[in-house]
Structure 1
Amino acid sequence: MLRMFCYFFVLCALFVVLPQSLVLHGSRGIRTKQPHLDESLIYLWPLPAEFTSGDEVLSVDPSLKLSVAGTGGAGASYIVEEAFERYKKIIFEHSGSGNVGARLRFKRVLVESIISEYDVSQLKITVHSDNDELQLGVDESYTLQVSKVKEDSIAGEVTIEANTVYGALRGIETFSQLCSFDYTTKTVQIHKAPWVIHDQPRFAYRGLMLDTSRHYLPVTVIKQIIDSMSYAKFNVLHWHIIDEESFPLEVPSYPNLWNGSYTKWERYTVEDAYEIVNFAKMRGINVMAEVDVPGHAESWGVGYPDLWPSPTCREPLDVSKNFTFDVFSGILTELRKIFPFELFHLGGDEVNTDCWSKTPHVKQWLQTNNLTTKDGYQYFVLKAQEIALSKNWTPVNWEETFNAFPSKLNPQTIVHNWLGPGVCPKAVAKGFRCIFSNQGVWYLDHLDVPWDQVYTAEPLEGIYDASQQKLVIGGEVCMWGETADTSDIQQTIWPRAAAAAERLWSPRESTPKANITSTTLPRLLNFRCLLNRRGVAAAPVRHFYARQAPDGAGSCYSQ
């Protein structure tokens, strides 16, 4: 009896003192609490501008057909048709990839006692414009309706109506999120029908920046990121292609520039860049290229050393030579053939001009022109703007240019905030347009910024005049690449980028900062799991540090 008591005592003591991780990871009998989805919430991300729903459940035919109507031309129809085929693979992921007829016959045998017909067999899309040009401010609005099953007919109906093909794309994404697979009936279902959704973005510019200089990202990875951006309704990929560390892009008129790439295998050809731009357009995403000058450009001189002021002063670029601006103009001429987006980012940040004053020929040029080194910085930025404008580009510059000489910038300049809060209010007060990217909340390489801080950031903070608010064209989350490469880029971006995506798309009043733990967090958890199902390596939402692995066993919906 005493021995049995001792055994019992020892077992109890072990259970008490064992680390929780061992109990969770080592015991198959212990399970984490299963999540409960709040049926009162609408699991759409980003939240639509206006919507109503019901309480019916409709089944969707796995051989769903597409009907395209309206005045949309061949280009618009092609974009819609391609999107429909992509999303069918997502929606019907459990249907396999074989012959549709064979799958349906097999399915009917399995579920004959459960369902004999499908409620929705056709998606009708109407596009009212044949213009498929993709630029800033393109109409992305749409109306999505899911009708209930009528008494005299078993057929429900799904329609998307949009003024442009890009509104139709946003509608298709929303439709895909309404569809869910039921494992009991093995059918795709739409819950809470009927639906009426009227939707449009809050901001015209909703961006994600990728840095491919600090770590090279293969074209396939960039495409994967573009795909994931479309799921959250982002519409601008800001491609920070080159920087001081590497110059991976081919420039045919100056072929030695990509000698500044890390290796001969870590480069982008002209054809690669074309492919990325066209791939993005098919998903309603513009690509804004950046050539950051005059700082962040040391890699240029690997191929053309004359761009350096001297072998020991490698940046900023040599402001005193016409050759510098000839190369810069040549780069922009080549890029204009590839990037149709009207905005072009000229950088202009973090420029330390000390070595200009220590390089004899640059110092002499400054003295001859009666310029200080600060004046030389202004001269370079303004000349770069003139070159960009001459090629029908609207210049975007990081905020240092505005902070240093706001009255000298071209009036068309778009000021890109990053250093901290309060810049956009100052910029719009002077009549400039602004992009919000406050590094304290929207820099994704800051791994200790949790999702709720990303979500509650407000691009219009401190701006109360309606006319000035319109000058904030939107915002952008920035994925700088010093500590992220192909191995961890997706989980560093997602799901925090989605928090910013909803802030930029959804009405401010429908996504309040209060009670986000009970109203927003469950929806973001759901969206993260949706990304995972679609092959996006989005990290757990709840972890304070981004891209951190799960703590232990558990449901995706509770991480």
Structure 2
Amino acid sequence: MPKSVSKGEQTLHVSRDLKMTAEGSNYADGKAILKDAFQRMVTLIELDHVINGSYQGLPLLASVNVVVHLPGDELNFGVDESYNLSVPATGNPIYAQIEAQTVFGALHALETFSQLCNFDFTSRLIELPSAPWAITDMPRFAYRGLLIDTSRHYLPVPVIKSVIDSMTYSKLNVLHWHIVDEQSFPIEIPSYPKLWNGAYSYSERYTMDDAIDIVQYAEKRGVNILAEIDVPGHALSWGVGYPSLWPSATCKEPLDVSSESTFQVINGILSDFSKVFKFKFVHLGGDEVNTSCWTSTPRVKAWLTQHGMKESDAYRYFVLRAQKIAKSHGYEVINWEETFNNFGDKLDRRTVVHNWLGGGVAEKVVAAGLRCVVSNQDKWYLDHLEVTWDGFYMNEPLKNIKNPEQQKLVLGGEVCMWGEHIDASDIQQTIWPRAAAAAERLWTPFEKLSKEWEIPVLSTRLARFRCLLNHRGIAAGPGNMLNASSTDQSKESCARRGLQGAKLSSDKTEEEVKTNEV
């Protein structure tokens, strides 16, 4: 829901030759991004329908005028994503007006515009109901993320691009790419070319050019790519190409803390990453580190003794040294919350702590003066199929954080699509529509969010959004994933309750909608 919105009762019809004009002081860099986005928007509202009706006597929306005030097309973290969108009911000609500080705010406005339109099967034209519209909008949180995992199951590049496209429909803006893990190492690292020997197969890999292509594709859509290497645990696959990274041939994880070559490899990876992944953050993992290999390997144990370290000291040493390497390449670091739980006072003070184990962590992190991203697994893990969409919606990142200065330290949140049990065939139906429930929590002003007792009304909006995704070719599943196997019921739910619910939500009273839902 936008920050503010008003609408009327006039139905406009969108010209089949809809034009866009763009203006703004010193605005040239982002015009190509804007032009491409406009063409994608037109494709979305047409949905391959044949637009062949007659406009005679109908109010015609002829163009969209876009004003962008700031030059540049760099997608920096915290970029202004606000916009104003107005669609008048009268005029000769009628044109929609978008005003934004940056091209990325304008992209969000075009997405909102697209969702105001639909194909009218009577007139065979695209219609825009309820004009005049006046929308003022901006995101609540700067970080609105989705994690994908290409180590547990390889995801082809077109699938990753499809996920990026679908993110823009609910205004998510960070794709957290959990690229490698213990199961596979699918990405090319020019500095250490044998690392991707740890891929599942010869064909299940990403070249550096693939990574550049994905990053550029995402940036043009207002999405940052957050790359992750999870160290020192979750790294068994590294040793397929470089066995010296294992503590021993029989005890292969975590990475060998005693070897300088381990940190040279990390340095090489992050050096190569810095040429591709331009987002200001890199994710270094740091979770679920079982240090028993270090003490059961005589060589590593002797190193610990020589340096007066216990296992916990070595864990801290590894994480902090990896942070310094990342900083030397211009990155700020995100680490999973175990690093904070074990040695939070030793972390670099610019560290972003990624909460995942449960609730109550964010308030401790910001009280310690560190930044936080919320992904608590009991609410925002998409692979937890038992968590329904309303659980995603009601998860509040600022729970129990009352101090305004501490609230600013919560950058936002992220829903996580771990890859153990999904692949290219079902990733989208598992992400959506539940991720959209979290996306609204992260975008919409707190005071505009629905309350628990409004869930029946909210469900009609989510059902409509799920149908919108399906119509756009995104295989969004039912909101309750445990019913996903009931395909007949799921299909009927989209066709009957979703689209009908959209009409009811605008034409009926709240009480009538609740009655209909019951």
CA distance in 1, matches of 2:222, 2:467: 23
CA shift for structure 1 position 549? 2.9
Separation in structure 2 between the aligned mates of residue 238 and residue 56 of structure 1, nearest angstrom = 42
Deviations 1:332-365 (A, max 9, x none): 0001000000010000000000120111111111
Following the alignment from structure 2 to structure 1, what is the Cα–Cα distance between the partners of residues 58 and 325?
62
How many angstroms apart in 1 are the aligned matches of 2:488 and 2:341? 42
Q: 1:67-466 maps to which residues of 2 (within 5 A)?
A: 67-71=21-25, 73-96=27-50, 107=52, 111=54, 115-116=56-57, 118-150=59-91, 153=92, 155-466=93-404
Paired with 1:246 and 1:543, the residues of 2 have a C-alpha distance of 27
- Once the two structures are TM-superposed, the CA of residue 259 in structure 1 deviates from its matched residue by 0.2
* Aligned-residue offset at 1:157: 2.1
- In structure 1, distance between residues paired with 2:127 and 2:453: 30
Gap change, CA 1:276 and 1:547, over 3 Å in 2: farther
Alpha-carbon distance between aligned partners in 2 of 1:118 and 1:260, rounded to the nearest angstrom: 60
Establish whether residue 520 from structure 1 lines up as the match of residue 426 from structure 2.
no
Distance in 2 (CA, whole Å) between partners of 1:156 and 1:318 is 66
User: What does residue 418 of structure 2 align with?
Assistant: 480
Q: Tell me how far apart the structure 2 counterparts of residues 93 and 526 of structure 1 sit (CA, whole Å).
A: 16
| CA distance in structure 1 between the aligned counterparts of 2:484 and 2:449, rounded to whole angstroms | 23
Judge conservation of contact 1:61–1:118 (CA < 8 Å) in 2.
Answer: no
Q: Distance in 2 between matches of 1:279 and 1:543?
A: 30
In structure 2, the partner of 1:62 is 16
Deviations 1:255-275 (A, max 9, x none): 000000000000000010001
Structure 1 or 2, whichever has the larger Rg, is 1
Unaligned runs of 5+ in 1: 1-46, 97-102
Residue equivalent to 2:476: 538
**Secondary structure, counterpart of 1:191 in structure 2:** strand
In structure 1, distance between residues paired with 2:358 and 2:23: 47
Q: Which residue of 1 aligns with 2:512?
A: none
CA contact (8 A) 2:176 2:227 kept: yes
Alpha-carbon distance change, 72 to 313 in structure 1, aligned in 2, over 3 angstroms = farther
Task: Name stretches of at least 5 consecutive residues in structure 2 with no aligned partner.
Answer: 499-518
After TM superposition, give the deviation of residue 447 of structure 1 in Å: 0.6
**Is the Cα contact below 8 Å between 2:394 and 2:452 reproduced in 1?**
no
Is residue 554 from structure 1 mapped to residue 492 from structure 2 by the alignment?
Answer: yes
Counterpart check, 1:53 vs 2:3: no
Residues 47, 472 of structure 2: 8 Å contact kept: no
Question: What one-letter code is carried by the residue in structure 1 that aligns with 2:64?
Answer: L
TM-superposed deviation, 1:94 = 4.3
Q: Percent identity?
A: 54
Distance apart, 1:493 and its partner CA: 0.3
In structure 1, what is the Cα distance between the partners aligned to 2:353 and 2:493? 43
Q: 1:160 to 1:412 in 2, by over 3 A?
A: same
Q: Distance in 1 between matches of 2:179 and 2:241?
A: 17
Offset at residue 186 of structure 1 (A): 1.1
Distance across 2 between alignment mates of 1:191 and 1:475: 33
* SS of match in other structure, 2:492: coil
Could you tell me which amino acid in structure 1 is paired with residue 78 of structure 2?
Answer: G
The Cα of 1:514 is off from its aligned counterpart by: 2.5
The DSSP-based 3-state class of the residue aligned with 2:402 is: coil
Partner of residue 506, structure 2:
none
Alignment size in residue pairs: 497
Deviation string 1:184-218 (CA, Å, 9 cap, x unpaired) is: 11111111111110100000000000000000000
C-alpha displacement at 1:119, in angstroms? 1.6
Q: Cα distance 1:552–1:281, how it changes in 2: closer, same or farther (>3 A)?
A: closer
Q: Is the 8 A contact 1:447 1:545 kept in 2?
A: no
Return the TM-score normalized by structure 2: 0.94
TM-score by length of 1: 0.87
Aligned to 2:513: none
Contact kept, 8 Å, 1:539 with 1:548, in 2: the verdict is no
Deviation at 1:555, TM superposition (A): 5.1
Q: Deviations over 1:414-467 (max 9, x none)?
A: 000000001100000010000000000100000110000011000001111111
Q: Equivalents in 1 of 2:491, 2:375: separation in Å?
A: 35
For 1:484 and 1:547, locate their aligned partners in 2 and report how far apart those are by CA, in whole Å: 15
C-alpha root-mean-square deviation of aligned residues, in Å?
A: 1.4
